[in-house]
């Protein structure tokens, strides 16, 4: 194989042994200059944590909007107002206001609805004895859940899904075709306009929902502009979709490839809390986070210079043998050091509670309701990406019990 580089992760044979390849990268240096990518690649658990916490490593994605190609600037302008892509003082201000709306109570209140949605999907497929997990469940569930949370009516959901798919292309892809770029710009504008209208319609509702709370923060003069409220609503809408889809797919595949662990979970349901964390660690949906040095920074033995990009590989940190005993073993009762599948530090995933809840409800329902559940395709098909780890499809079968 060519020189050691994170870029090789795009090759199918590396995807097939991703964590083995990360070991090679980490052995070559837990923070190492990657020439093909022109970036520092951080793969050691301790340095990943340090990098994610270091205020000198910036999350700002477009430091100079004027330098973005003019056609894409409207999308970049919205992304630049999202908490994920800002530093202090904007970051704590935006995150503080949004997290007031996105409370643990608001999320727990969704449990019954999530259970109903999952049961509805399983009721439909149960008699067929098989399903394609990604398309039938892992993809529709997060969209339904976030639409419930934001109060998007049933009739508008397909449209919302299409808009967000157009915009998502920009986020993970530096090389866009004209068609992709135009679609992203159009769909972002439509999504912003849609949330603007929806919020106008909803402020009089009897039960304040997340969107109401965000807009109230703006009305209360708490320092959130309308543009920021809408940009962060779009972030909430999008951040939990592909990520949760991959979580459900990867976790289900891991469980079916380790029948002993699936059996253990069926026998000891009190293991669900540690099981969800272990499944997130074992095959993390988000593999890396992007930072840029605002000034010279020493990280481990590396001398990072101002302006250089830093790729913080949480997927590799989660398999660091210096931190996790036998990291390639799936152990649903594992406790001990924390994984970084939801990131670390100030940008730690705001939707972690919701993702955990969706994972537990969906995986538990599949394991308990589908007798003899097993894989029906042998080789996993991975999406081609450095940022995400996810299956394009996952076919399973079960025994149909005559009723």
> Between 14 and 341, whose beta carbon lies closer to ligand HEM?
341
According to the binding rule CB under 6 A, does residue 347 interact with ligand HEM?
yes
According to the binding rule CB under 6 A, does residue 49 interact with ligand HEM?
no
> Between 131 and 288, whose beta carbon lies closer to ligand HEM?
288
Region 227-246 residues binding ligand HEM, contact defined as CB under 6 A: 235-236, 239-240, 243-244
Concatenated DSSP letters of 121-179 = HHHHHGGGTEEEHIIIIITHHHHHHHHHHHT--GGGHHHHHHHHHHHHHHHT-SS--HH
E strands, 246-375, in order: 288-293, 297-299, 302-304, 309-313, 374-375
Q: Which has the closest alpha carbon to 124: 133, 112, 136?
A: 136
E strands, 346-393, in order: 374-375, 381-382, 391-393
Concatenated DSSP letters of 263-277 = HHHHH-GGGHHHHHH
Residue 157: CB minimum distance to ligand HEM, A: 15
> Between 235 and 302, whose beta carbon lies closer to ligand HEM?
235
According to the binding rule CB under 6 A, does residue 45 interact with ligand HEM?
no
Residues 6+ apart with CB under 8 A from 329: none
Query: Taking CB under 6 A as the rule, which mask of x and - marks residues 120-149 in contact with ligand HEM?
Result: --------------------------x---
According to the binding rule CB under 6 A, does residue 315 interact with ligand HEM?
no
> Between 29 and 285, whose beta carbon lies closer to ligand HEM?
285
Q: Which stretch binds ligand HEM (CB under 6 A): 27-35, 269-277, 282-290, 327-335?
A: 282-290
Region 57-76 residues binding ligand HEM, contact defined as CB under 6 A: 59
Q: What is the DSSP letter of 26?
A: H
According to the binding rule CB under 6 A, does residue 47 interact with ligand HEM?
no
> Between 237 and 398, whose beta carbon lies closer to ligand HEM?
237
- Helices 111-125, 140-150: axis angle to 10 degrees equals 150
Residues 6+ apart with CB under 8 A from 34: 5, 6, 7, 40, 41, 311
> Between 9 and 146, whose beta carbon lies closer to ligand HEM?
146
Binding site for ligand HEM (CB under 6 A): 59, 83-84, 95, 146, 235-236, 239-240, 243-244, 247, 285-286, 289, 314, 341-343, 347, 349-351, 354-355
């Amino acid at each position: 194989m060519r020189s050691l580089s994170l870029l090789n992760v795009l090759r199918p044979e590396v995807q097939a042994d991703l964590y083995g390849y990360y070991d090679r990268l980490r052995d070559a240096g837990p923070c190492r200059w990657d020439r093909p990518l022109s970036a520092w690649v951080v793969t050691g658990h301790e340095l990943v944590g340090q990098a994610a916490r270091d205020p000198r490593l910036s999350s700002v994605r477009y430091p100079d909007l004027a330098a973005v190609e003019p056609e894409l600037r409207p999308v970049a302008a919205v992304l630049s107002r999202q908490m994920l892509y800002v530093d202090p003082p904007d970051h704590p201000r935006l995150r503080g206001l949004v997290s007031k709306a996105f409370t643990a109570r608001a999320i727990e209140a969704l449990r019954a609805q999530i259970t109903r949605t999952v049961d509805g999907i399983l009721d439909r497929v149960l008699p067929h004895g098989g399903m394609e997990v990604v398309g039938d469940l892992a993809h529709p569930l997060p969209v339904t859940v976030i639409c419930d949370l934001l109060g998007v009516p049933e009739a508008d959901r397909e449209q919302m899904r299409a808009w967000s798919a157009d915009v998502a292309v920009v986020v993970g892809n530096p090389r866009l075709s004209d068609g992709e770029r135009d679609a992203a710009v159009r769909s972002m504008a439509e999504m912003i306009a849609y949330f603007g209208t929806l919020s106008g319609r909803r402020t009089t509702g009897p039960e304040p929902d997340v969107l109401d709370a965000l807009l109230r923060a703006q009305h209360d003069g708490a320092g959130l502009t309308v543009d920021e409220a809408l940009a962060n609503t779009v972030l909430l809408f999008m951040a939990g979709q592909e990520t949760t889809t991959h979580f459900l797919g990867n976790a289900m595949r891991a469980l079916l490839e380790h029948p002993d662990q699936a059996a253990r979970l069926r026998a000891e349901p009190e293991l669900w809390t540690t099981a969800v964390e272990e499944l997130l660690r074992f095959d993390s949906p988000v593999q890396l986070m992007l930072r840029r040095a605002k000034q010279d920074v020493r990280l481990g033995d590396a001398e990072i210079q101002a302006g250089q990009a830093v790729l913080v590989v949480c997927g590799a940190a989660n398999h660091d043998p210096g931190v996790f005993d036998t990291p390639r073993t799936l152990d649903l009762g594992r406790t001990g050091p924390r994984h970084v599948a939801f990131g670390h530090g100030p940008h730690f995933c705001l939707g972690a509670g919701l993702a955990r809840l969706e994972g537990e409800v969906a995986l538990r329902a599949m394991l308990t309701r589908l007798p003899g559940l097993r894989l029906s395709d042998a080789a996993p098909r991975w999406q081609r990406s450095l940022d995400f780890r996810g299956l394009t499809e996952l076919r399973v079968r079960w025994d149909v019990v005559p009723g």
